[in-house]
Amino acid sequence: MPTLFRFVVTMMILAGIAYGTMVALAMFVEPKKAEITVRIPPEKLNPKKTDPN
């Protein structure tokens, strides 16, 4: 039983560290805002229709 308890406590500590890291990243890191432009060829917007026959 002590081995299971040690495992559970270790997993809880690791989960707490991961959660704390995510909270710190969300609070202190600001994403860079940039305008993104993607050119789409007209062939992809209006594909040529093929005759089914």
Segment 26-39, tens digit of pLDDT: 999 988 899 999 99
Q: What is the dihedral of CA 23, 25, 31, 37, to 10 degrees?
A: -90
What does pTM read for this prediction?
Answer: 0.55
Domain ranges for the chain? 9-45
- Supply the pLDDT for residue 45: 82
